[in-house]
Structure 1
Amino acid sequence: MRHALLALVLLPLLVLGPPGTGAALAAPGAVDPAAPGWVWPVDGPRIIVRPYLAPATPYAAGHRGVDLGASGSGAEVVAVTSGIVHFAGVVVDRPVITVRQGQVLATVEPVTPLVAAGDRVEVGQVIGLLEPGHCARPCVHLGVRVAGEYVSPLLYLGGLQRAVLLPLD
C-alpha cells in the first residue's frame, strides 16, 4: 500500500516538468514556465476554454489538446515552436496545421493555412488565420504528440502546477 501511494505521488513528477528539464520540486502552487522555444499560438489573455483530458485508453473518449481563447475569427495564429510544416490542409471539414520538431508534432485547428507542407517555420511566425466554429467563443485547439502519444500542451506552454512530494506519514 505504501509503495502504491508513493507511486501515485511520484508519477506527476515524471510527467509535469517541461520536457528535457527533469522534474524539480517546487513550492506548492508554483507553476511551470514555458519550454524553451515555445509560445502560445494566439495573442491576448491566456484563457483555457477547455483543458486537456487524457483518455483512459488510446481509443477512449478524452480531449487530446487544449482549447485556447482567441480575440476572434480571423486572428493570426503563430507557430508554437520552430520546425517543418508536416501537414497543412483539411481534415474532415476542419482546416488543420501541424508543425514537426523532431518527434514532437504540434497541431492547431481550425486554422486556414498560410503555409504549406514542407515549409520551414520559426517560433512566433504567423502560419494561419483562425476560423470560427470550434468553440462557442473564438478559440484555437492545440494538440501535441510526442513519439505518437498525446500529451498536455501545457507541458510546453507552461502553466501547469508543479507536483510536490509530500511525506507519507
Structure 2
Amino acid sequence: MNPERVRSLLGAVLAVVLVIGTPAVSFAVTEAAAASTAHDALEDRGWVWPVDGVQLLRPFAAPAHAYGPGHRGVDLAAGATLRSPADGLVAFAGQVAGRPVVTIDHGDGLVTTLEPATTELSVGDPVARGAVVARLADGGHEGPGTVHFGVRWNGEYINPLRLLGGVPRAVLKACC
C-alpha cells in the first residue's frame, strides 16, 4: 500500500482523546470532525457552556439526510442548574413528546434547546449569556443527570461545539 493511502486511512481512523473539566473525564473526536470548516460564520461568538464542569457524554452525529438517524445535539453531564449559552429570548418552555424543554432564540437564526429542563421564565423573557435559565428535570432521552443541548441555525441542526469554540483545552493521554 502506498504511503499516501496509509496516511489517508490513518487520518480517517485517528481519534484524539480530550479531557473536559476533570482529569477523569474524556471523550474522542475524529480528526474529520475536528478539521471541519463548515459554518465558519458561527465561530468566535463568545458562547459559554450551559453546564458547569463540562463532561461530554454523547457527541453530535449529523444525520445523512433531514429525516435520517443521528444525534442532533450533544449530551452533557449536568448539575441542577442550566445556563444560557448566549444572550437571547425564551422562545418556548413546555412539553415536547412528554419531555420538558426550554428553547432560547439568540437571533441571527440561532436557537438552542435544553432538554429535560424546566424554567420559571416565560416566552419572550430576555436571558443573558451565562445566566441560569432552567433546572435539570427528569424525563430526558438519556439517564438522570444528563442534559441534551441542541442548536439550530436557520432551522438546521448543527454541532453545538462550533459555537463553543470546540472543546476546552485538549490533553493527549497515553493509551497504554
**Is TM more than 0.5 here?**
yes
Moved more, 118-127 or 151-160: 151-160
Are the equivalent residues in 1 in contact too, given 2:100–2:139 (CA < 8 A)?
no
Moved more, 129-138 or 55-64: 129-138
AA matched with 1:51? P
Query: Given the two structures, how large is their TM-score scaled by the length of structure 1?
Result: 0.72
Structure 1 residue runs without a partner (length 5+): 22-34, 162-169
- Structure 2 partner of 1:99: 104
- Structure 2 partner of 1:63: 71
- Structure 1 partner of 2:119: 113
Are the equivalent residues in 2 in contact too, given 1:114–1:129 (CA < 8 A)?
no
Q: Secondary structure at the match of 2:118?
A: strand
Identity of aligned residues (%): 43
CA distance in 2, matches of 1:133, 1:49: 17
CA distance in 2, matches of 1:105, 1:91: 16
**2:146 equivalent to 1:139:** yes
- Structure 2 partner of 1:165: none
CA distance in 2, matches of 1:61, 1:70: 25
Q: Secondary structure at the match of 1:123?
A: coil
Highest RCO, 1 vs 2 (Cα 8 Å, sep ≥ 6): 1
CA distance in 2, matches of 1:146, 1:49: 23
**2:45 equivalent to 1:36:** yes
CA distance in 2, matches of 1:106, 1:126: 14
**2:57 equivalent to 1:49:** yes
Are the equivalent residues in 1 in contact too, given 2:46–2:164 (CA < 8 A)?
no
Q: Secondary structure at the match of 2:163?
A: helix
CA drift at 1:37? 3.1
- Structure 2 partner of 1:14: 37
- Counterparts in 2 of 1:138 and 1:92: CA distance versus 1, 3 Å: same
Moved more, 85-94 or 50-59: 85-94
Q: Secondary structure at the match of 1:14?
A: coil
**2:165 equivalent to 1:155:** no
CA drift at 1:157? 1.6
Are the equivalent residues in 2 in contact too, given 1:87–1:99 (CA < 8 A)?
yes
CA drift at 1:17? 4.3
CA drift at 1:13? 4.7
Are the equivalent residues in 2 in contact too, given 1:16–1:160 (CA < 8 A)?
no
